[in-house]
Amino acid sequence: MFPLRAAAALLTVPLALPGLSSAPAPEAPTPQPIFPAKYLGTTDMTHAAQSPEVTAALGTDAPFGGISGLEHLGGQDYVALSDDSAEEFPSRAYRMTIPEDGSTPTVTGAVLLRDAAGQPYGEHAVDPESVRRLADGTFAWTSEGWAKEGDFRAPSVIISDASGQELRRLNVPDYHEPNPEGTSGIRHNKANEGLAVVSPDVVMTANEGALAQDGPMNTEEHGMRVRLTQYSLSTGEAIAEYPLEVGALYPGARDRGISEIIAGDDGSFYIIERGYVAGQGNRGEIYRITLDGATNVLGKQALTGEETPVHKELVFDFSSLPEHPDNIEALAWGERLADGRAQLLVASDNNFSENQRSLLHRIALG
Protein backbone atom coordinates (compact mmCIF):
# COMPACT_ATOMS: atom_id res chain seq x y z
CA MET A 1 0.00 0.00 0.00
CA PHE A 2 2.89 2.19 0.62
CA PRO A 3 6.60 2.46 -0.26
CA LEU A 4 8.82 0.03 1.59
CA ARG A 5 11.23 1.89 3.82
CA ALA A 6 12.44 1.35 7.32
CA ALA A 7 10.08 2.80 9.91
CA ALA A 8 11.27 5.86 11.75
CA ALA A 9 12.77 5.56 15.20
CA LEU A 10 10.27 6.04 18.02
CA LEU A 11 10.53 8.35 21.06
CA THR A 12 9.48 9.76 24.50
CA VAL A 13 7.75 12.51 26.82
CA PRO A 14 4.64 13.81 29.90
CA LEU A 15 0.94 15.85 33.00
CA ALA A 16 -2.16 15.51 34.99
CA LEU A 17 -5.84 15.74 34.17
CA PRO A 18 -7.80 18.84 34.97
CA GLY A 19 -9.83 18.31 38.12
CA LEU A 20 -13.40 17.15 37.61
CA SER A 21 -16.28 18.97 39.29
CA SER A 22 -19.72 17.74 40.28
CA ALA A 23 -21.32 21.10 39.40
CA PRO A 24 -20.77 23.66 36.66
CA ALA A 25 -17.74 25.80 37.44
CA PRO A 26 -15.17 27.92 35.67
CA GLU A 27 -12.68 25.91 33.68
CA ALA A 28 -9.91 24.53 35.87
CA PRO A 29 -6.46 25.98 35.25
CA THR A 30 -4.64 24.03 32.59
CA PRO A 31 -1.87 21.96 34.18
CA GLN A 32 1.60 22.94 33.08
CA PRO A 33 3.69 20.45 31.11
CA ILE A 34 6.54 18.96 33.09
CA PHE A 35 8.45 17.64 30.08
CA PRO A 36 10.31 20.05 27.77
CA ALA A 37 8.32 20.56 24.57
CA LYS A 38 8.83 23.36 22.08
CA TYR A 39 6.58 24.40 19.22
CA LEU A 40 8.64 24.60 16.01
CA GLY A 41 6.05 25.83 13.53
CA THR A 42 3.14 24.93 11.27
CA THR A 43 2.97 24.19 7.56
CA ASP A 44 -0.24 24.46 5.55
CA MET A 45 -0.57 21.36 3.34
CA THR A 46 -4.03 22.17 2.00
CA HIS A 47 -2.75 22.99 -1.47
CA ALA A 48 0.31 20.75 -1.50
CA ALA A 49 1.65 19.96 -4.96
CA GLN A 50 0.60 16.57 -6.34
CA SER A 51 2.54 14.39 -8.74
CA PRO A 52 1.03 13.06 -11.99
CA GLU A 53 0.86 9.66 -10.30
CA VAL A 54 -1.79 11.00 -7.92
CA THR A 55 -3.95 12.28 -10.75
CA ALA A 56 -3.53 9.00 -12.62
CA ALA A 57 -4.76 7.04 -9.61
CA LEU A 58 -7.59 9.32 -8.43
CA GLY A 59 -8.52 11.55 -11.35
CA THR A 60 -8.40 15.33 -11.49
CA ASP A 61 -11.33 16.03 -9.15
CA ALA A 62 -10.41 14.03 -6.05
CA PRO A 63 -9.46 16.47 -3.28
CA PHE A 64 -6.41 16.08 -1.09
CA GLY A 65 -7.34 16.00 2.58
CA GLY A 66 -9.10 14.11 5.33
CA ILE A 67 -5.69 13.27 6.83
CA SER A 68 -6.47 11.15 9.86
CA GLY A 69 -3.35 8.98 10.00
CA LEU A 70 0.34 9.66 9.36
CA GLU A 71 3.31 7.26 9.44
CA HIS A 72 7.01 7.92 8.88
CA LEU A 73 8.67 5.49 6.49
CA GLY A 74 12.20 6.87 6.74
CA GLY A 75 13.97 9.96 5.48
CA GLN A 76 11.43 12.40 4.05
CA ASP A 77 8.94 9.65 3.09
CA TYR A 78 5.58 9.31 4.82
CA VAL A 79 2.21 7.72 4.25
CA ALA A 80 -0.93 9.70 5.07
CA LEU A 81 -4.29 7.98 5.47
CA SER A 82 -7.41 9.82 4.33
CA ASP A 83 -10.65 9.17 6.20
CA ASP A 84 -12.73 9.34 3.02
CA SER A 85 -15.22 6.48 3.33
CA ALA A 86 -15.75 6.34 -0.46
CA GLU A 87 -18.73 8.67 -0.45
CA GLU A 88 -17.56 10.42 -3.61
CA PHE A 89 -13.99 9.27 -4.17
CA PRO A 90 -12.20 6.01 -3.32
CA SER A 91 -10.93 5.24 0.17
CA ARG A 92 -7.22 5.94 -0.13
CA ALA A 93 -3.84 6.76 1.31
CA TYR A 94 -1.24 9.18 0.03
CA ARG A 95 2.50 8.86 -0.31
CA MET A 96 4.16 12.10 0.72
CA THR A 97 7.54 13.71 1.11
CA ILE A 98 7.77 16.04 4.11
CA PRO A 99 10.92 18.19 4.05
CA GLU A 100 12.84 18.55 7.28
CA ASP A 101 13.13 22.32 6.87
CA GLY A 102 9.39 22.93 7.31
CA SER A 103 8.69 23.73 3.66
CA THR A 104 5.48 22.52 2.03
CA PRO A 105 5.15 18.73 1.61
CA THR A 106 4.57 17.11 -1.77
CA VAL A 107 2.00 14.40 -2.48
CA THR A 108 3.98 11.89 -4.51
CA GLY A 109 1.48 9.06 -4.93
CA ALA A 110 -1.90 7.62 -4.05
CA VAL A 111 -2.88 4.10 -3.02
CA LEU A 112 -6.44 2.83 -3.35
CA LEU A 113 -7.58 0.78 -0.36
CA ARG A 114 -9.09 -2.49 -1.56
CA ASP A 115 -10.93 -5.40 0.01
CA ALA A 116 -9.72 -8.99 0.21
CA ALA A 117 -11.03 -9.65 -3.31
CA GLY A 118 -8.97 -6.76 -4.68
CA GLN A 119 -11.93 -4.43 -5.24
CA PRO A 120 -12.08 -0.83 -3.98
CA TYR A 121 -14.15 -0.61 -0.82
CA GLY A 122 -17.74 0.47 -1.37
CA GLU A 123 -19.37 3.50 0.20
CA HIS A 124 -19.15 3.40 4.02
CA ALA A 125 -17.61 -0.08 3.91
CA VAL A 126 -14.66 1.34 5.83
CA ASP A 127 -13.97 4.55 7.73
CA PRO A 128 -10.14 4.80 7.76
CA GLU A 129 -8.58 6.56 10.72
CA SER A 130 -5.01 5.59 11.68
CA VAL A 131 -2.16 3.72 9.96
CA ARG A 132 1.11 2.11 11.08
CA ARG A 133 3.74 0.18 9.18
CA LEU A 134 4.50 -3.25 10.64
CA ALA A 135 7.84 -5.05 10.93
CA ASP A 136 7.11 -7.30 7.94
CA GLY A 137 6.40 -4.38 5.59
CA THR A 138 2.61 -4.72 5.71
CA PHE A 139 0.38 -2.00 7.14
CA ALA A 140 -2.18 -2.02 9.94
CA TRP A 141 -4.97 0.54 9.85
CA THR A 142 -8.18 1.15 11.73
CA SER A 143 -11.74 1.55 10.55
CA GLU A 144 -14.30 3.00 12.97
CA GLY A 145 -17.24 0.77 12.13
CA TRP A 146 -20.79 2.11 11.92
CA ALA A 147 -23.59 2.64 14.44
CA LYS A 148 -26.54 4.48 12.93
CA GLU A 149 -29.23 4.41 10.23
CA GLY A 150 -29.98 0.73 10.78
CA ASP A 151 -26.37 -0.26 10.09
CA PHE A 152 -24.43 -1.56 13.09
CA ARG A 153 -20.89 -2.83 12.55
CA ALA A 154 -17.97 -3.35 14.88
CA PRO A 155 -14.78 -1.35 14.35
CA SER A 156 -11.92 -3.06 12.54
CA VAL A 157 -8.16 -3.38 12.58
CA ILE A 158 -7.19 -4.26 9.01
CA ILE A 159 -3.87 -5.60 7.75
CA SER A 160 -3.11 -4.66 4.13
CA ASP A 161 -0.19 -5.29 1.84
CA ALA A 162 1.93 -2.55 0.27
CA SER A 163 -0.48 -2.27 -2.68
CA GLY A 164 -3.45 -1.45 -0.42
CA GLN A 165 -5.19 -4.85 -0.63
CA GLU A 166 -6.67 -6.25 2.56
CA LEU A 167 -4.99 -9.41 3.84
CA ARG A 168 -6.88 -10.04 7.07
CA ARG A 169 -8.55 -8.47 10.09
CA LEU A 170 -7.88 -8.77 13.79
CA ASN A 171 -10.65 -10.04 16.06
CA VAL A 172 -12.20 -7.14 17.96
CA PRO A 173 -13.81 -8.05 21.33
CA ASP A 174 -17.54 -8.66 20.88
CA TYR A 175 -18.54 -6.03 23.44
CA HIS A 176 -17.20 -3.34 21.08
CA GLU A 177 -19.87 -4.26 18.51
CA PRO A 178 -22.77 -1.78 18.63
CA ASN A 179 -26.36 -2.90 19.09
CA PRO A 180 -29.45 -1.19 17.63
CA GLU A 181 -30.62 -0.15 21.10
CA GLY A 182 -27.49 1.90 21.68
CA THR A 183 -26.83 0.21 25.01
CA SER A 184 -23.67 -1.66 24.11
CA GLY A 185 -20.61 -1.24 21.94
CA ILE A 186 -19.17 1.74 20.13
CA ARG A 187 -20.99 4.98 19.58
CA HIS A 188 -21.09 6.20 15.99
CA ASN A 189 -17.89 7.97 14.95
CA LYS A 190 -16.40 7.42 18.43
CA ALA A 191 -14.48 4.16 17.92
CA ASN A 192 -10.85 3.23 17.24
CA GLU A 193 -9.41 6.55 16.09
CA GLY A 194 -5.84 5.74 17.07
CA LEU A 195 -3.31 2.95 16.46
CA ALA A 196 0.16 2.34 17.90
CA VAL A 197 2.77 -0.37 17.37
CA VAL A 198 3.67 -1.74 20.81
CA SER A 199 6.13 -4.42 19.64
CA PRO A 200 6.74 -6.45 16.48
CA ASP A 201 3.80 -8.68 17.45
CA VAL A 202 1.48 -6.24 19.25
CA VAL A 203 -0.57 -3.21 18.20
CA MET A 204 -2.89 -1.10 20.32
CA THR A 205 -6.00 0.86 19.36
CA ALA A 206 -7.43 3.89 21.15
CA ASN A 207 -11.15 4.57 21.15
CA GLU A 208 -12.25 8.18 20.71
CA GLY A 209 -15.22 7.87 23.05
CA ALA A 210 -16.64 5.60 25.72
CA LEU A 211 -18.38 2.36 24.84
CA ALA A 212 -22.12 2.73 25.47
CA GLN A 213 -22.07 0.31 28.42
CA ASP A 214 -19.09 2.05 30.02
CA GLY A 215 -21.07 5.18 30.85
CA PRO A 216 -22.12 8.46 29.28
CA MET A 217 -19.94 10.62 27.12
CA ASN A 218 -18.14 13.48 28.84
CA THR A 219 -19.80 16.79 29.71
CA GLU A 220 -18.44 20.08 31.07
CA GLU A 221 -18.95 18.58 34.53
CA HIS A 222 -17.29 15.18 34.14
CA GLY A 223 -14.93 13.19 31.95
CA MET A 224 -15.28 9.69 30.53
CA ARG A 225 -13.26 6.51 30.20
CA VAL A 226 -12.30 5.04 26.86
CA ARG A 227 -10.51 1.77 26.12
CA LEU A 228 -7.05 1.04 24.79
CA THR A 229 -7.04 -2.47 23.29
CA GLN A 230 -3.93 -4.50 22.51
CA TYR A 231 -3.86 -7.23 19.84
CA SER A 232 -1.41 -9.97 18.97
CA LEU A 233 -0.63 -9.89 15.27
CA SER A 234 0.36 -13.56 15.27
CA THR A 235 -2.93 -14.81 16.76
CA GLY A 236 -5.22 -11.97 15.67
CA GLU A 237 -6.75 -11.87 19.16
CA ALA A 238 -7.06 -9.12 21.76
CA ILE A 239 -4.59 -9.75 24.59
CA ALA A 240 -5.05 -6.77 26.94
CA GLU A 241 -7.21 -3.69 27.43
CA TYR A 242 -6.82 -0.62 29.64
CA PRO A 243 -9.06 2.33 30.61
CA LEU A 244 -7.96 5.87 29.79
CA GLU A 245 -9.51 8.92 31.44
CA VAL A 246 -10.53 11.68 29.02
CA GLY A 247 -11.13 15.14 30.46
CA ALA A 248 -14.38 17.05 30.79
CA LEU A 249 -15.53 19.05 27.78
CA TYR A 250 -13.84 22.36 27.20
CA PRO A 251 -16.29 25.18 28.06
CA GLY A 252 -18.70 25.49 25.15
CA ALA A 253 -17.31 22.42 23.36
CA ARG A 254 -19.54 19.88 21.70
CA ASP A 255 -17.02 17.04 22.00
CA ARG A 256 -13.64 16.01 23.38
CA GLY A 257 -11.99 12.68 22.73
CA ILE A 258 -8.91 10.74 21.66
CA SER A 259 -7.96 11.13 18.01
CA GLU A 260 -4.58 9.36 17.83
CA ILE A 261 -1.95 7.36 19.70
CA ILE A 262 1.70 6.61 18.92
CA ALA A 263 4.36 4.62 20.76
CA GLY A 264 7.43 6.15 22.36
CA ASP A 265 10.76 4.35 22.64
CA ASP A 266 10.58 3.81 26.41
CA GLY A 267 7.30 1.91 26.74
CA SER A 268 5.22 5.08 26.90
CA PHE A 269 2.66 6.36 24.40
CA TYR A 270 1.51 9.76 23.20
CA ILE A 271 -2.09 10.67 22.50
CA ILE A 272 -4.03 13.57 21.03
CA GLU A 273 -7.03 14.71 23.05
CA ARG A 274 -9.06 17.28 21.17
CA GLY A 275 -12.49 18.83 20.72
CA TYR A 276 -14.34 21.59 18.89
CA VAL A 277 -15.67 24.79 20.43
CA ALA A 278 -18.20 26.69 18.31
CA GLY A 279 -17.03 30.18 17.48
CA GLN A 280 -13.48 29.44 18.62
CA GLY A 281 -12.32 26.40 16.66
CA ASN A 282 -10.47 23.32 17.81
CA ARG A 283 -8.71 22.85 21.10
CA GLY A 284 -6.34 20.02 21.87
CA GLU A 285 -3.42 18.67 23.84
CA ILE A 286 -0.78 15.99 23.55
CA TYR A 287 -0.40 13.72 26.56
CA ARG A 288 2.12 11.06 27.46
CA ILE A 289 0.62 7.92 28.98
CA THR A 290 2.08 4.83 30.66
CA LEU A 291 0.31 1.55 31.32
CA ASP A 292 2.09 0.60 34.56
CA GLY A 293 -0.44 -0.07 37.31
CA ALA A 294 -3.49 0.26 35.07
CA THR A 295 -6.24 -2.34 35.36
CA ASN A 296 -6.40 -4.88 32.54
CA VAL A 297 -10.12 -4.84 31.66
CA LEU A 298 -10.00 -7.25 28.72
CA GLY A 299 -13.18 -9.32 28.74
CA LYS A 300 -14.98 -6.95 31.11
CA GLN A 301 -18.29 -6.18 29.47
CA ALA A 302 -18.79 -2.86 31.27
CA LEU A 303 -16.52 -0.60 33.30
CA THR A 304 -17.60 0.29 36.84
CA GLY A 305 -15.38 3.33 37.37
CA GLU A 306 -13.39 1.53 40.06
CA GLU A 307 -10.68 0.43 37.63
CA THR A 308 -7.28 2.12 37.70
CA PRO A 309 -6.76 4.06 34.46
CA VAL A 310 -3.46 4.52 32.67
CA HIS A 311 -1.19 7.30 33.95
CA LYS A 312 -1.44 10.50 31.93
CA GLU A 313 0.79 13.59 31.78
CA LEU A 314 0.49 16.74 29.66
CA VAL A 315 3.15 17.30 27.02
CA PHE A 316 1.82 20.19 24.93
CA ASP A 317 -1.30 22.38 24.96
CA PHE A 318 -2.25 23.83 21.57
CA SER A 319 -4.14 26.66 23.27
CA SER A 320 -0.69 28.23 23.77
CA LEU A 321 -0.59 29.01 20.03
CA PRO A 322 -2.03 32.21 18.54
CA GLU A 323 -4.37 30.25 16.26
CA HIS A 324 -6.38 27.10 16.90
CA PRO A 325 -4.67 23.97 15.49
CA ASP A 326 -7.63 22.85 13.37
CA ASN A 327 -8.93 19.27 13.62
CA ILE A 328 -5.73 17.51 14.79
CA GLU A 329 -5.99 13.77 14.16
CA ALA A 330 -2.62 12.25 13.23
CA LEU A 331 0.77 11.71 14.89
CA ALA A 332 4.09 10.62 13.41
CA TRP A 333 7.68 10.81 14.53
CA GLY A 334 9.77 12.95 12.22
CA GLU A 335 13.52 12.84 11.81
CA ARG A 336 15.42 13.73 14.99
CA LEU A 337 16.64 17.29 15.13
CA ALA A 338 20.30 18.14 14.79
CA ASP A 339 20.57 18.61 18.56
CA GLY A 340 19.20 15.10 19.18
CA ARG A 341 15.71 16.09 20.25
CA ALA A 342 12.80 14.04 18.97
CA GLN A 343 10.34 15.68 16.59
CA LEU A 344 6.64 14.94 16.74
CA LEU A 345 4.52 15.78 13.69
CA VAL A 346 0.82 16.50 14.23
CA ALA A 347 -1.49 16.63 11.20
CA SER A 348 -5.03 17.94 10.96
CA ASP A 349 -8.03 16.54 9.09
CA ASN A 350 -9.78 19.26 7.07
CA ASN A 351 -12.95 17.15 6.68
CA PHE A 352 -12.84 18.16 2.99
CA SER A 353 -14.29 21.49 4.06
CA GLU A 354 -13.41 24.84 2.48
CA ASN A 355 -13.50 26.30 5.98
CA GLN A 356 -10.76 24.03 7.34
CA ARG A 357 -7.12 23.36 6.52
CA SER A 358 -4.75 20.41 6.34
CA LEU A 359 -2.04 21.58 8.73
CA LEU A 360 1.21 20.00 9.85
CA HIS A 361 2.47 21.10 13.26
CA ARG A 362 6.02 20.34 14.48
CA ILE A 363 6.86 19.92 18.14
CA ALA A 364 10.32 19.22 19.58
CA LEU A 365 10.50 16.99 22.65
CA GLY A 366 13.33 16.74 25.10
What DSSP state is assigned to residue 294? -
Express each pLDDT in 171-195 by its tens digit.
999 999 999 999 999 999 999 999 9
Give me the pLDDT at residue 31, please.
63
* pLDDT score at 41: 97
Asked whether the whole model's pTM tops 0.85, one would answer: yes
Closest CA to 271 of 222, 207, 177, 366: 207
Convert the pLDDT of each residue in 91-119 to its tens digit.
999 999 999 999 999 999 999 999 999 99
Residue 36 confidence (pLDDT): 86
Average pLDDT on 158-172 reads 98
Least confident of 13-17, 127-131, 255-259: 13-17
Question: Does residue 3 lie within any of the structural domains?
Answer: no
d(CA 161, CA 168): 10
pLDDT band, very low/low/confident/very high, at 348 (cuts 50, 70, 90): very high
Residue at 13 is within a domain:
no
Tell how far CA 240 is from the center of its chain.
19
User: Does residue 26 lie in a domain region?
Assistant: no
20 within domain boundaries:
no
Asked whether residue 2 is domain-assigned, the answer is no
pLDDT of residue 10: 34
DSSP secondary structure string, 172-183? --GGGS--TTSS
- Quick: pLDDT tens for 293-342: 999 999 999 999 999 999 999 999 999 999 999 999 999 999 999 999 99
How does pLDDT run across 271-281, given as a tens digit for each residue? 999 999 999 99
| DSSP-derived 3-state class of residue 351 | coil
Does residue 22 surpass a pLDDT of 70? no
Q: Is residue 125 in a domain? A: yes
| pLDDT for res 88 | 87
Average pLDDT over residues 1-14: 38
Q: Would you say residue 192 lies in a domain?
A: yes
pLDDT at 1: 53
126 CB-near residues (< 8 Å, 6+ apart): 85, 86, 91, 113, 143, 156, 158
Total number of domains constituting the chain: 1
Q: Where would I find the H helices in 33-79?
A: 52-58
State mean pLDDT over 136-141.
Answer: 98
Average pLDDT over residues 201-212: 98
pLDDT at residue 360, rounded to an integer? 98
Gap between the Cα atoms of 310 and 18, Å rounded: 15
Mean of the per-residue pLDDT values of the chain: 92
Cα-only R_g, the chain: 19
Q: What is the mean pLDDT of residues 133-159?
A: 97
CATH number of domain containing 307: 2.115.10
What integer pLDDT is reported at residue 29 of this predicted model?
A: 56
Is residue 235 over pLDDT 50? Answer: yes
Residue numbers of the domain that contains 144: 37-365
